[in-house]
Amino acid sequence: MKVDELRVLEEDELGGRLKAARRELYELRFKHAVGQLENSSQISKVRHDIARIMTVLREREFGIVAQVAPDAITVGVAAAEPESSAAVEIPDEDVKPKRTRAKAAPANPKTEKRS
């Protein structure tokens, strides 16, 4: 199942697929526990499908549009950088000083325990 296929589905269809995928995961885990599952990689595939469905649902909840039309992509066109931004200097007050390591204090032979 691809994400592009999921993005064209309605929300109730996605909910149905999510429910079916969770049920399938439950059955696969049960088969795995009993020892009847031959291909355990099916479990990870179903888990990935569940994650994809949940991602599409969350994108819609937040109003994120992740689709990009293929003809909207232009190749070889780069935005020119304004010349004024190249000569911007950072004032010294905004720059944080480098952190240095504290030097270890010299060992005092009188307070050191002797074995």
pLDDT tens digits along 45-80: 999 999 999 999 999 999 987 654 454 444 444 455
* Burial zone of 55 (CB within 10 Å; 0-12 exposed, 13-18 middle, 19+ buried): middle
Backbone angles phi, psi at 32, to 5 degrees: -65, -40
Residue 72 falls inside a structural domain: no
Residue 59 falls inside a structural domain: yes
Euclidean distance between CA atoms 65 and 60, whole angstroms? 7
The pLDDT of residue 34 = 96
Report, as an integer, the average pLDDT of 29-52: 96
| CATH classification at residue 43 | 1.10.287.310
Residue 82 falls inside a structural domain: no
Give the pTM: 0.56
The pLDDT of residue 105 = 64
Instruction: Count the Cβ atoms, other than its own, within 10 Å of residue 115.
Output: 3
Give the number of domains in the chain: 1
